[in-house]
Amino acid sequence: MTFWFLLLLGLFTYFIVQRSVAGITRTPVWILWLVLMTPALIWSVWAAIHGPDHPLPIALAIGPFIICPLLYWLLIQWGRRDSSPSAEQTQNQALESKPATETKPEPSNLRPIEPTEEAQLRNCFPWSVYYIHNIEYRPQAVLCRGQLRTKPAVAYQRIRENIEAQFGDRFLVILQEGLDGKPFFALVPNPQARAAGQSQQKLTRPILALGLVLATLFTTTLVGVEFAGGDLQTITSNPAVLFQGLPYALALMTILGIHESGHYIAARFYKIRATLPYFIPIPFFLGTFGAFIQMRSPVPNRKALFDVSLAGPLAGFVATLPLLIWGLAHSTVVPLPAEPRMLDPNALNPNYSLLVALLSKLALGDQLVANRAIDLHPVAIAGFLGLVVTALNLMPVGQLDGGHIVHAMFGQRTGAAIGQIARFLLLGLSLIQPGFLLWAIILFFMPIADQPALNDVTELDNWRDLCGLMALGLLVLIILPVPTAITQLLQI
């Protein structure tokens, strides 16, 4: 009964958010939806763990009602769009265009160029590079269709230079495949041209980023005290109890911070305007909703899309691995409960994840045998959450890092098809591992396609394709239950 209530509530909440704020903020709808659903999820998890006879603590009963609406408002404000058409909106309009054989040019009062400029535009397309057939005018976009006569990267570079020489910085030049499989160019108004005077200091907001770091350090420390078995009620008489929560807080923030810093550094390498990493503090649950950055300029090509998307999970996993192994080595082996729960930090069943089982056996050795669970050290809890964050981000769906990765590897349409398959595979896995059901539901609420790169046609090199397959393999290692043959081999 609780599950169906949550499902209906989640559907209703998602459609309300989608209709009310999706057009005014760049913040992903699924994040806003998750924030609004947090109170119901926390109360449901509490009831599932402690039973309906145990009343909620005051902090859990009232805190989410105060924190979540405020966080929801802040996320909307941080991602608020300008009143002028954004790059994302205009790219979406280009995406929705039909092949030239199925539509006629549409006159519009919002034509981005004047009729007298069409001859100048045609001159930007040399016949030996891209033989242009026709030009279609859409609201806030110009679609140029024709025949590609050289490599996509060469054509894009040459035509972009010609358009910049002729029209300055008025347009973003997009190259992507149409529904007929043929590459076409789209010219959309450049929102950065009007924002050229904006200072880098306003984009990065270091004081805000530092304040959120300190606030999140405090909230994760409070949660860490509970994970360490301390008593928060004694803080006023014994402030030193906070030191018990620092191992968890520092480990978790290191993992999340390095993950987002990987995105940030890669974005800066490709000269993509991006904000500093912002942490999201909450004084309950895990102490934080994670961290995020926002990219404020388009991704130049699929290579950049791949590198920026992979940099975060890769950096976060590299930071997670030593912390998790150290934490597991300092954890305690306990008897497996009669009814084990998937994410119980006091009795974690390592067989729920192939990678966790391998690392647990490596760290604990002969202590870990069959029918045993692990009472996790606070650092191990942070490391385990690092794996969860890595796996969730590597899901090949929509605007998650994994969705960007498969888009960069296979193209936008094939990447969207892979995302649809991944949704159903995770839903099937939730029949074996009920703990994945919430993940599966969240993925079905996410848009299946992400935004195209400016040059969305040029393919990746073989090395990046191999790295992408390895990243998807890491996802499988994290979420795949341990096969029986391996449990017998590891004697767990």
Average pLDDT value for residue range 311-338? 93
Structure tokens that stand for 258 in this block? 């390095």
Q: Helix (H, G, I), strand (E, B), or coil: what is residue 198?
A: coil
- CA dist 187 and 159 (Å) reads 11
Model confidence pLDDT, tens digit, residues 217-254: 999 999 998 888 887 777 777 888 889 999 999 999 99
**For residue 293, what are the CA distances in angstroms to 78, 261, 266, 317?**
10, 9, 12, 18
Residue in the structure block whose two tokens are 């100048």? 120
Distance separating the N- and C-terminal Cα atoms of the chain: 35
Read off the pLDDT of residues 138-176 as tens digits, 9 standing for 90 and up: 877 899 999 999 999 999 999 999 999 998 888 889 999
**Looking at residue 368, what is its pLDDT?**
87
Lowest-pLDDT range of 230-234, 316-320, 468-472: 230-234
CATH 3.60.90 assigned to 87-194: no
Q: What span, in angstroms and rounded, lies between the C-alpha atoms of 25 and 79?
A: 5
Q: How far apart are CA 170 and CA 84, in angstroms?
A: 14
Structure tokens at 305: 């899309």
At 156 the pLDDT is 94
Predicted structure pTM score: 0.78
- Check if the beta carbon of residue 154 is closer than 8 Å to that of residue 130: no
> DSSP letter string over 269-337?
HTT--BPPPEEEE-SSTTSEEEEE--B-S---BHHHHHHHHHHHHHHHHHHHHHHHHHHHHTSEEEEPP
Residue in 173, 265, 252, 174 with CA at minimum distance from that of residue 216? 252
SS3 of residue 443 by DSSP:
helix
Contact 312, 260 (CB under 8 A): yes
Q: Does residue 463 register a pLDDT over 90? A: yes
- Residues 59-73 have a mean pLDDT of 76
Mean pLDDT is lowest, of 79-88, 358-367, 418-427, for 79-88
At 101, the pLDDT band (50, 70, 90 cuts) reads very low
- One-letter amino acid at 192 equals Q
Q: Which residues pair with 334 in a beta bridge?
A: 373
Q: State CA 123 to chain mean position distance.
A: 41
> Over the chain, what is the mean pLDDT?
82
Summarised one tens digit per residue, pLDDT across range 381-406 is 999 999 999 999 999 998 899 999 99
| Pairing mode, strands 288-292 and 332-335 | unpaired
Q: Would you state the structure tokens that stand for residue 468, as one six-digit string? A: 């992408």
Tell me the angle at which helices 412-432 and 437-445 cross, rounded to the nearest 10 degrees: 150
Compare 435 and 263 and report the one with higher pLDDT. Answer: 263
User: In angstroms, rounded to a whole number, what is the distance separating the alpha carbons of residues 242 and 213?
Assistant: 17
Whether the CB-CB separation of 219 and 202 falls below 8 Å is answered with: no
Q: Tell me which of 70-74, 385-389, 465-469 is least confident.
A: 70-74
Q: Is 98 left (phi over 0), alpha (psi -120 to 50) or beta?
A: beta
Distance separating alpha carbons of residues 131 and 339, to the nearest angstrom: 67
Give the per-residue pLDDT at 195: 52
Q: How far is CA 16 from CA 21, 41, 363, 441, in A?
A: 8, 18, 47, 17
Whether residue 36 contacts residue 13, with contact meaning beta carbons closer than 8 Å, is answered with yes
Closest CA to 192 of 39, 297, 40: 297
Are 293 and 227 within 8 A, CB to CB? Answer: no
Token pair of 56 as six digits: 């909620």
